[in-house]
Structure formats: C-alpha cells, structure tokens
Amino acid sequence: MGEWSSRVIPIVRGLCLLYVTHKYLGTTVVTYGPSMLPTLGITGNVLLMERISTRTGKLRPGDVVFFRSPENPRRVVCKRLVGMEGDQVTYVVDPKNSDKCNTIVVPKGHVWVEGDNIYNTKDSRNFGAVPYGLVEGKAFWTLLPRRDFGSLAPKPK
C-alpha cells in the first residue's frame, strides 16, 4: 500500500498543477477550419492560449480569442475580436452576394467577433454579439506550422 501510494501521489500532484495551469494561466489549442484564413490555416494550427487577459479584462479589438460557441456549448470557437462593449461595429452582412453593410453598437457585457475569412465563417454576423462570460482565452503565439512560429498576424486589411 505504501509503495503504491508513493508512486501515485507525485502523479496526482503533477496533474493538479497541470490542471491549475490549464484553468488559470493558459494551454495549447489545436485549431482547424477555413474561417480564419489567411491568419490560421485550414489543416490546423497549434496555438498557445492564455487566460490572464480575459480574467483581468485586458482584451482589445484585434486579439484572436477563443470562446464557447453560443450555438453548441461543447465546442470552443476561435475568431478575431472586432468590437468590445459600447463600440460601434460596421460589418458586411453577406459578402458573397452583396455589399450591404450594417452598423450596430455592441451591447453591454458582450463582444463582437468575426473570422478573418469573411466569405466562409460563422461569427457574430450570424449568431450575434457573444456574452463576455463565454470568452475563454486569447491566442498569443503560434507553435505549428513551423513557418508561422511566432506571434499572430494582425487583422488583414
């Protein structure tokens, strides 16, 4: 009994530390999908996400953020933060079909997110402003693929 517990306890402590880091500091995330081209590739990127900026309220428009999807609570989505609460956001409603624009003010306690690839993305233009409580963290570093290693690119013009 003593020998078994002396092996398990360091593992449990390690998992504890890993969990606390994951929940409060940050973690690595794998992303895939075309909605953030050209910033993030279709086949997948490995990014580092930190949770400190979300907890201290230091997110700014232009940050790439992860949030729990308002349509499916089991999925975490990655998009770019475009507007904080109170900001006025102008967006193209349906870029494939028309140039019609819409302007809204982001409601209190919410953020407006958009994918960089506006032709193939479901974002705030579809499901509306996202409550801040659903935002999980901010991506600040790309690990893979190797050629994109480093901080993330700003929003393409």
Partner 1 sequence: MRQWRSIAKEAMDRASIIVKFLCLLHVTDAYVVSSNHVLGPSMLPTLNITGDVVLVEHLSHRIGKLGSGDLVLVRSPLDPNKTLTKRIVAMEGDKVTFSLDPTRSFSSRSLVVPKGHVWIQGDNLYVSRDSRHFGPLPYGLIEGKVFMRVWPPNSFGLLG
Let me know: does 149 contact 143? Beta carbons within 8 Å. Answer: yes
Residue tagged active-site, from 6, 53, 58, 79: 79
CB of 41 to partner 1, least distance (A): 26
| Amino acid type, 17 | L
Cα 31 from Cα 49, distance rounded (Å): 11
CB of 51 to partner 1, least distance (A): 13
Each residue 18-57 as x (binds partner 1 by CB under 8 A) or -, in order, gives -xx-------------------------------------
CB of 136 to partner 1, least distance (A): 9
Each residue 66-95 as x (binds partner 1 by CB under 8 A) or -, in order, gives --xxxxxx----------------------
Each residue 96-135 as x (binds partner 1 by CB under 8 A) or -, in order, gives -----------xxxx-------------------xxxxx-
For partner 1, the binding residues (CB under 8 A) are 13, 16, 19-20, 68-73, 107-110, 130-134
